Amino acid sequence: MSVEDVGRRLRDLRIERGLSLSELARRAGIGKGSLSEIEGGGRNPTVETLYALCGPLEVPMTSLIGESPGAVSVAQGGMRSILLSVRTPPTLTVEVFRLEFPTGAGHISPGHRPGTREHLTVVAGVLRVGPTGREREVGAGDSHTWSSDGSHRYTAIDGPAEAVLVITTPR
């Protein structure tokens, strides 16, 4: 994913939805100048910023980063997400990511559009995941599923961790 590609996709989606730069920035809770820099390809957005933009645009993450497997995003808390697959049957979008957490890494994600669900399977290590305030510990080989239309978090506990995340978003 190039910074320019993300910016172009973002600008196209904003215009398609009839939103001004100021209005999208307000709805996403980010600065208008930052949004302008991202759209112009001059700023590399974090995962947090991308998710903040996905909500008001009502699109899954791959609408911004592209659907090419291997696209990598890094969150402010150190979590890396690598896109493995995207499928778009008629009624939903299914995104599959590999998540990598260095020791102590964490990520708080804003809510996604209503009806979005996440299913996480831990491959290595231990994660605390789920809706904010209701997280649960999940160890290697175990899974957890939740509605992600509200704020939710991922935190590596006692060392590095790796997981596979499937996100289903209604279309």
Q: Which two tokens stand for residue 128?
A: 């605390």
User: What is the residue whose two structure tokens read 């957890």?
Assistant: 144
The top-level CATH class assigned to 72-170 is mainly beta
CB 146 within 8 A of CB 167: no
pLDDT at 97: 94
Tell whether domain 3-64 is in CATH 3.30.9.10: no
Question: How do the domains of the chain map onto residue ranges?
Answer: 3-64, 72-170
What's the pTM value of the predicted model, to 2 decimals?
Answer: 0.77
Strands (E) located in the chain: 72-74, 80-87, 92-101, 106-109, 117-131, 136-139, 143-147, 152-170
Query: What is the chain's mean pLDDT, rounded?
Result: 90
Radius of gyration of the chain (CA): 15
pLDDT at 31: 92
pLDDT at 1: 57
pLDDT tens-place string over residues 54-80: 888 888 888 888 777 888 888 888 899
Res. 116 pLDDT band, cuts 50 70 90: very high
CA distance 146 to 75: 20
Mean pLDDT of 73-95: 88
pLDDT at 36: 94
**Would you tell me the crossing angle of helices 21-28 and 47-57 to the nearest 10 degrees?**
110
* DSSP alpha helix (H) spans, 31-75: 32-39, 47-57, 62-65
